[in-house]
Amino acid sequence: MSPTRVLAAADAGKLSSQPVATYASTTKWNHMLPLLPSIFHSDTTGRNVSVSADGTVAFRRTNEYCNAYVFARNPCRLDDAICISILAIDASFSGSLAFGLTCCDPAALRPDLLPDDSDLLLDRPEYWVVNKDVCAGPEVGDQLIFHLTKEGSQCLS
């Protein structure tokens, strides 16, 4: 199986312009899967998000709720687990966090061509899997752990 890239988006979410998501290198959970240190791809993002200088925190632009795509810099491999921590929310928006996987190298994407609606990624020539309703009503401190199983399925805990 080819390497898979992680895609997260705050489509219609209530994430704020404060730091909204970070990769956690350690966390308490009972699945006994190693959480690999990872960072966001800084050169390829949606137009309504920016990434911190060290690549560990994504910020959604104020008053914008779509096209806030971020990608992991390194490919996700089978049996990898990724933890996304919610650091802040914007109560003026309601919605959920979207999450997806692609075989596409983010460096090969043109950010200006990323659609506002993540469902439209499915029309692109690369392989994409998108779930818009991963975490309805995220709260500060929530940690979402995504596990790509050995069988190739995606699990959330």
Go through the domains of the chain in sequence order and give each one's CATH number. Answer: 5-156 (2.60.120)
Buried b (16+ CB within 10 A) or exposed e, 61-81: beebbbbbbbbbbeebeeebb
- Residues of the chain above pLDDT 90, percent: 24
Q: What pLDDT band is residue 110 in, cutting at 50, 70 and 90?
A: very high
Q: How is 93-114 classified by DSSP, letter by letter?
A: ---EEEEEEESS-GGGS-GGG-
Contact predicate 147/31, CB 8 Å: yes
**Does position 27 have pLDDT exceeding 50, yes or no?**
no
Question: Given a cut of 60, is residue 58 above it in pLDDT?
Answer: yes
- Specify the pLDDT at position 36: 54
Q: List pLDDT tens digits, range 87-104.
A: 888 887 777 888 888 889
Q: What is the pLDDT of residue 152?
A: 73
Amino acid identity of residue 149, one-letter, is: T
Strands 49-51, 81-86: pairing is: unpaired
